[in-house]
Amino acid sequence: MVSVKKMEIETEDKPPGSPLIRDFDIGNYLGNSNFFLKYEGVNPTGTQKDRISKKHVENAIEKGYSEISVATCGNYGASIAYYARAMGIKAIVGIPSEYSNSRYAEIAAYGAEVIEKPLKYEEMVEYIRDEAGKNGWYDASPGSQNRDLDVAGYSEIAYEIYEQLGFAPDYVSVPVGNGTTMYGIYYGFLKLMRSGRSDKIPSFIASSTDGGNPVVYSFINGFRRVVELDQNSIVETHSNEPLIAYRSYDGQKALDVLYKTGGKASYVSDEDMIDMARGFREVDHLSVLPASASAALTALKYAGNKSCVIVLTGSDK
């Protein structure tokens, strides 16, 4: 039997980090004793975004900025606003006005300045990037000049998995929007292997929305170069907002990970995401964002009885 270390629930004065839970040891909702849940819901604002937000705010302060800006569909903005308030600088958060996320009030309550525009998410990223340049704000948005911190933050998930599990699993299943989380975890395992600590890199499984995502679209169509989608063809919903994209800022890196590791990828419907999240809540007593629950569905589809770590984000508050 594999021994799995469960990290303590984080408090506000601790760095982000999360437990690894064997589903067999709780409700066993997935019915597979080789499936492990990397539950990011214990982080201060409930998502893996806390790992990079803390680094960005610290970097902004170190570089002398008094404002930090980000474009968001919800979770990332809440996370940046949380750490900005905690460390004493101002957050400027751009949100597409048509997004129906439930974190707007939370972002404002943290003291952030909220900018709403009738733009798509990718357009909001570019708008905030331009405004950051004009106004001297630190830019924490996806694809910024500070993006190396994103990879550094998410690579810590790989280090934790290795330490908690004691080995590199056969698979890691990750929900994919921009592709940054998956690439960061891959990079962490790559460093572990290059240092001689691990003898392999897991195969990666990518899940995303059937409303449209460039990484999954490109992979299932056999493309080696990521293809930007027609922005008029994507369908945004409340459930798929964290995943929907016509442009993935780290899409090429994520697509390369799938090919390099012999990975798999598929779309998941909103209905199936919602049902899976409900099952986690009712059986395993875990609050899981439906978009994140998509990673469990693809794990069930592809991992078989192999060891698989499923990265799960907590439900939005």
| Domain covering 49-139 assigned CATH 3.40.50.1100 in the classification | yes
CATH of region 20-47+148-312, choose from 3.40.50.1100, 3.30.70.1400, 3.40.50.620, 2.60.120.20: 3.40.50.1100
| Domain boundaries along the sequence of the chain | 20-47+148-312, 49-139
State whether residue 92 is helix, strand or coil: strand
Per-residue pLDDT at 30 exceeds 80:
yes
Q: In this structure, which long-range contacts are made by residues 231-239, counting pairs with CB atoms below 8 Å and at least 24 apart in sequence?
A: 231/120, 231/122, 235/211, 236/98, 236/99, 236/211, 237/209, 237/211, 237/270, 238/100, 238/101, 239/209, 239/270, 239/273, 239/274, 239/290, 239/291
Position 218 scores a pLDDT of: 98
The string of pLDDT tens digits covering residues 213-272 is 999 999 999 999 999 999 989 998 889 988 999 999 999 999 999 999 999 999 999 999
User: Is the fold of 20-47+148-312 the same as that of 49-139?
Assistant: yes
More confident residue, 16 or 291: 291
The string of pLDDT tens digits covering residues 124-135 is 999 999 999 999
Position 101 scores a pLDDT of: 59
Q: Out of 113-122, 188-197, 290-299, which region has the weakest mean confidence (pLDDT)?
A: 113-122
